Amino acid sequence: MSISNLREFHPVANIFPLMQGDEYEQLKADIKANGLLEPIWLDSEGKIIDGRNRYRACVDSGVEPQYKTWQGNDLLSFIISMNLHRRHLSESQRAVVASKLANMPAHRIDNKSANLRTSVSQSQAAEMLNVSERIVSTIKAIEKAAPELIEKIESGEITAHKATKEVKRRDTESRRNEVAIAGEALQPTERWCVEVANINTYTTDKRFDFIITDPPYTKEYLPLYEVLAKRAKEWLKPTGLIIVMCGQSYLDQIYAILSKHLVYYWTSCYLTPKQPTPMRQRQVNTTWKPLLIYSPTADYTGKIFGDVFTSPNPEKDNHDWGQSVEGMLDIISQICLSGQSILDPFCGAGATGVAALRHGCLFHGIDIDEQSVNISKSRLAEVG
């Protein structure tokens, strides 16, 4: 027979999470060793309003429970205050409780002695649980999108913030899949071409005016910069430029690698003012990226350009490492002429390609990830 059949828990008490794991085992061991030191509170109908965990521990340990009947006039406040007093619930856990309370029908929180027969609003529930109404709304949104995450919040495994990020990640992945499926069957046009290919082995007889690209930044990818430098000499026109976005952590090594095979031209700044990135290994919070500009022959004869570019907003919906279209358009519009050709050998989800087409350039992109390539195709097809 279940414990709830032995003694019913009041519905409001049940909106609080029960003890689990080591916490409950410690309580059970304490009650078995020392007896029940504090009585279990009942309402006028004999339902447990405080002490569900002590009651469970008594039943599991073979200890006779002791009861006391509550005689006050605000049962709801009593249940909430006793649970908050006894349990060290996080803000996220309290918000889950508030959400449950706001969803509870009036008859479930009925207190005959106090004649409480009205539902609790979300704002009232938030106030009772000492949380902001905003986080209660967040919990409701999580429950609607991914109800299984609520259990993890209740158990303390994750916070509401982490659950929200997980919901967003799932939504983004779902949207990416939809865009990728739509782009899978699209064929290249005269203005753009995107292919699944590896930078190490990819071959083409075309030569491009510019390579504009954003390789991975972490240390294990440093060898790719040497491959990129070597292949750039094959892919660029003699008067062309390669513009490489990179991180700052290994900038000295990247300069050395690129300079082994190409002619240094300039270093520009790509501002990301609304996208601070904490570089914890260096104790720096950075809001810009270097743009390293090299030439295969030092014969660049294109237009004069500025050396500061700006990405006004982050744009990670299509790729975790993606740059914003507006940021890439700022680079392309300042450096490239309409009708010139751009290659991106790390094209990801195609932000550079979209910017290139919007500026009237021709675009060719490759990436090793098929899903990213298909997303690029969908996005480029929308531009033309």
Q: What is the pTM of this model?
A: 0.65
Q: Is the pLDDT of residue 27 over 70?
A: yes
**In the prediction, which pLDDT does 299 show?**
87
pLDDT grade for 267, boundaries at 50, 70 and 90: very high
Measured distance CA(265)–CA(252) in Å, rounded: 16
Q: Is the pLDDT of residue 294 over 90?
A: yes
- Determine phi and psi for 125, rounding to 5 degrees: -65, -40
pLDDT grade for 114, boundaries at 50, 70 and 90: very low
Residue 43 structure tokens: 């309402």
Residue 182 lies in a domain: no
Residue 180 lies in a domain: no
Residue 237 lies in a domain: yes
pLDDT grade for 122, boundaries at 50, 70 and 90: very high
| Residue appearing with tokens 């491009």 | 208
Per the CB < 8 A criterion, the answer to whether 77 and 101 are in contact is no
**In the prediction, which pLDDT does 173 show?**
83
Query: CA 98: distance to chain centroid?
Result: 25
Residue 309 β-bridge partners: 270
Least trusted range by pLDDT, from 258-262, 319-323, 350-354, 366-370 = 319-323
Which of the listed residues 168, 198, 223 is the one where a domain comes to its end?
168
Q: Is 264 helix (H, G, I), strand (E, B) or coil?
A: strand
Average of pLDDT values for 43-61?
Answer: 91
pLDDT grade for 19, boundaries at 50, 70 and 90: confident
Indicate whether 99 and 156 sit together in one domain.
yes
User: With the CA atoms of 150, 152, 158 and 161 taken in that order, what torsion angle do they form, in degrees rounded to the nearest 10?
Assistant: -10
Per the CB < 8 A criterion, the answer to whether 330 and 317 are in contact is no
Residue 174 lies in a domain: no
Which of the listed residues 168, 196, 231 is the one where a domain comes to its end?
168
106 vs 52: which has the higher pLDDT: 52
Indicate whether 193 and 158 sit together in one domain.
no
C-alpha distance across the termini of the chain, in Å: 68
Measured distance CA(86)–CA(248) in Å, rounded: 49
Residue 271 β-bridge partners: 288, 310
Indicate whether 122 and 199 sit together in one domain.
no
Residue 4 structure tokens: 């709830």
Task: Determine the length of the chain.
Answer: 384
Q: What percent of the chain has pLDDT over 90?
A: 63
**In the prediction, which pLDDT does 72 show?**
82
Residue 292 structure tokens: 């390293």
Measured distance CA(147)–CA(137) in Å, rounded: 14
Residue 196 lies in a domain: yes
**In the prediction, which pLDDT does 110 show?**
60
Count the domains in the chain: 2
Q: Is the pLDDT of residue 113 over 70?
A: no
Indicate whether 129 and 261 sit together in one domain.
no
What mean pLDDT is reported for the chain?
89
Residue 173 lies in a domain: no
Range of the domain at 344: 188-383
166 vs 73: which has the higher pLDDT: 166
Q: Is the pLDDT of residue 117 over 70?
A: no
Indicate whether 203 and 306 sit together in one domain.
yes
| Residue appearing with tokens 């071959």 | 203
Sign for the CA dihedral angle at 184, 186, 188, 190 comes to negative
Residue 255 lies in a domain: yes
pLDDT grade for 176, boundaries at 50, 70 and 90: confident
Indicate whether 260 and 130 sit together in one domain.
no
CA angle centred on 94, ends 88 and 100, rounded to 5°: 140
**In the prediction, which pLDDT does 4 show?**
47
Indicate whether 200 and 136 sit together in one domain.
no
What digits encode the pLDDT tens for the residues 132-164? 999 999 999 999 999 999 999 998 899 999 999
**In the prediction, which pLDDT does 319 show?**
56
pLDDT grade for 358, boundaries at 50, 70 and 90: very high
Which of the listed residues 106, 136, 168 is the one where a domain comes to its end?
168
Q: Name the residue among 182, 208, 185 with its Cα closest to residue 347.
A: 208
Assign residue 331 the CATH number of its domain. 3.40.50.150
307 vs 114: which has the higher pLDDT: 307
What digits encode the pLDDT tens for the residues 191-232? 999 999 999 999 999 999 999 999 999 999 999 999 999 999
Indicate whether 26 and 164 sit together in one domain.
yes
Residue 335 lies in a domain: yes
Indicate whether 133 and 233 sit together in one domain.
no
Q: Taking the CA of residue 153 as centre, how many other CA atoms within 13 Å lie in the half-sphere pointing to its CB? A: 29
**In the prediction, which pLDDT does 172 show?**
80
Least trusted range by pLDDT, from 78-82, 99-103, 172-176, 270-274 = 172-176
pLDDT grade for 318, boundaries at 50, 70 and 90: low
Indicate whether 198 and 297 sit together in one domain.
yes
Indicate whether 304 and 226 sit together in one domain.
yes
Indicate whether 199 and 114 sit together in one domain.
no
